[in-house]
Amino acid sequence: MQLLIIGTLGGQIGAASKIAIARGAKVVQADDIEGGLEALRSGRGGDLVMVDVSLNVRQLIDALKAERINTPVVACGVQSDTQAAVSAIKAGAKEYLPLPPDAELIGAVLAAISDESHKLIYKDPAMADVVRMAEQVAGSDASILITGESGTGKEIIARHVHRNSKRKDKTFIAINCAAIPENLLESELFGHEKGAFTGAVAKRLGKFEEANGGTILLDEISEMDIRLQAKLLRVIQEREVDRIGGSKPVKVDVRIVATSNRDLQSEVQKGHFREDLYFRLNVVNLMLPSLRQRPMDLEVLSAHFIRKYAEHNDVQALPITPEAMVKIKSYGWPGNVRELENAMHRAVLMGGPECIDERAIIINTNPAVQVEPTPPPQQPAPMPNQMASGYGASGAATGGAASKMVGRTVAEVEQELIIDTLQHCIGNRTHAANILGISIRTLRNKLKTYSEQGVPVPAPGDSGGTGAL
């Protein structure tokens, strides 16, 4: 990882740098806020910014927000500077570290954003086969397409490929194509010159230039607008990018890994994805199995997440009872590893005092809806349209579900299904869209309409309430 230090840190910059380097970080230093911003714009910044609390921390954070530079900021200062520390946190700093630097504190902050949070954990042979193939092709420069349901760990596999490649000492850049508005994604990927458009206050390198020599992950590439796909195809073919407002192309040497939770061949047939780009990306396809297809991983992942969140919450990591594990194994986990992680986090908070039993395994966070255990893998769960219509596989009405829909409009039923699904996914838009079988754009448009109508829309990480779309 790369660390950017802004300021002198009260003369402690040398000590802080040595601790960070000893922990495996690469350190870049700037004397002031503008110098730090220039380092970030030029791709010399990093994964974390440590800023001297005596500088204008709010100016830095406001500038990062305005220029859409998503790098966490930690303020540092002498222990007596309490007021400055409070002001820095209020301005948006993630943490405050007192000086002189403490090796354990700096180590903890670096570990929080290091590759340890992307640890690859598996036991099931189905997952082992994918990992084996990933390691086999990692040493090449071939483009890789990683496919699988939301929450299966596509980014973790992408990082594993990078760590096992000849580019492992270079930068790994991940960008979520579904999370950035279409009109901004081109600038994020390819960069821009000063004054190229409103808000372009300075020249900024795009993610491709930042990743030069390393690997770039294009997460959820199926959500990229087809017009931008044409520009991406040219980058892959010519190995050069055109900054917005630039006068000449810039050569780049980047290994591309892309992910999708959709069937890209089907998207090609629908005209939503360019066929030539698909073939350029799909040199090697790593298809991740769902958690339903790797049952042996349930125990090792559950144990891992229990240890992780016990440590995060400063509580004892309790053993999980056989009854609780039966409950875990009887559920289908449509949200895959991400959903399991959330459930284990809740279990750590709800379990005790001596163990985590089945009562602590709260799989559905919406108390108004009871979730039945998902059938085993050999008995596929009902499709979402079957559940929404109130009909089973035989076409017969399933109890009172259909009668509850009689007299209501299709729009009302659709709204309830979307909100309930979003609550089940704890506000995760991508996961909910995948379950519902619609695009993330369609989901966002519907949520925007509901919000404008005064309907409570769950925020990411919530099971209810209102929040950002």
pLDDT category at 147 given cuts 50, 70, 90 is very high
What integer is the mean pLDDT of 355-370?
A: 70
Looking at the predicted structure, is the pLDDT value of residue 226 above 80? yes
CATH of region 2-114: 3.40.50.2300
Q: Write out the H or E segment, with its range, that includes residue 279.
A: helix 275-281
Q: Given this model, what pLDDT does residue 424 score?
A: 76
pTM over 0.75: no
Based on DSSP, count helices (H) and strands (E) in the chain, helices before strands: 20, 14
Higher pLDDT, residue 371 or 69: 69
Of 92-96, 99-103, 115-119, 323-327, which range is least confident?
115-119
Strands 284-287 and 144-147: parallel
What integer is the mean pLDDT of 312-327?
A: 91
Strands 215-219 and 172-176: parallel
> What are the residues whose beta carbons fall under 8 Å from the beta carbon of 99, sequence distance 6 or more?
9, 10, 12, 16, 76, 77, 78, 79
DSSP 320: B
Alpha carbon separation from 305 to 108, 247, 310, 313, 347 (Å, rounded)? 18, 50, 8, 12, 10
- Cβ(179)–Cβ(222) under 8 Å? no
Higher pLDDT, residue 196 or 256: 256
pLDDT category at 64 given cuts 50, 70, 90 is confident
pLDDT category at 435 given cuts 50, 70, 90 is confident
Q: Do domains 291-360 and 384-452 have the same CATH topology?
A: no
- Cβ(153)–Cβ(166) under 8 Å? no
> How far is the C-alpha of 127 from the C-alpha of 131, rounded, in Å?
6
What integer is the mean pLDDT of 277-292?
A: 95
- Cβ(245)–Cβ(257) under 8 Å? no
Q: Given this model, what pLDDT does residue 402 score?
A: 47
Instruction: Please provide the average confidence, as pLDDT, over all residues in the chain.
Output: 82
Q: In what order do the strands lie in the sheet with 284-287?
A: 172-176, 215-219, 255-260, 144-147, 284-287
> How far is the C-alpha of 129 from the C-alpha of 294, rounded, in Å?
11
How far the first Cα of the chain sits from its last, in Å, is 31
CATH of region 384-452: 1.10.10.60
pLDDT category at 47 given cuts 50, 70, 90 is confident
Q: Which CATH superfamily is domain 127-287 in?
A: P-loop containing nucleotide triphosphate hydrolases (3.40.50.300)
Alpha helices in 23-149 (DSSP H): 33-41, 57-66, 82-91, 103-113, 125-138
Most confident of 7-11, 232-236, 393-397, 454-458: 232-236
Q: Which residue has the tokens 């690469």?
A: 26
Query: Domain-by-domain residue ranges, the chain?
Result: 2-114, 127-287, 291-360, 384-452
Per the omega criterion (within 30 degrees of 0), is the bond before 353 cis?
A: yes
pLDDT category at 381 given cuts 50, 70, 90 is very low
Q: Given this model, what pLDDT does residue 404 score?
A: 56
Q: Which residue has the tokens 């190229």?
A: 196
Instruction: Render pLDDT for 199-221 as a digit per residue (tens, 0 to 9).
Output: 777 888 889 998 999 999 999 99
Q: Which CATH class is domain 291-360?
A: mainly alpha
Strands 95-99 and 73-78: parallel
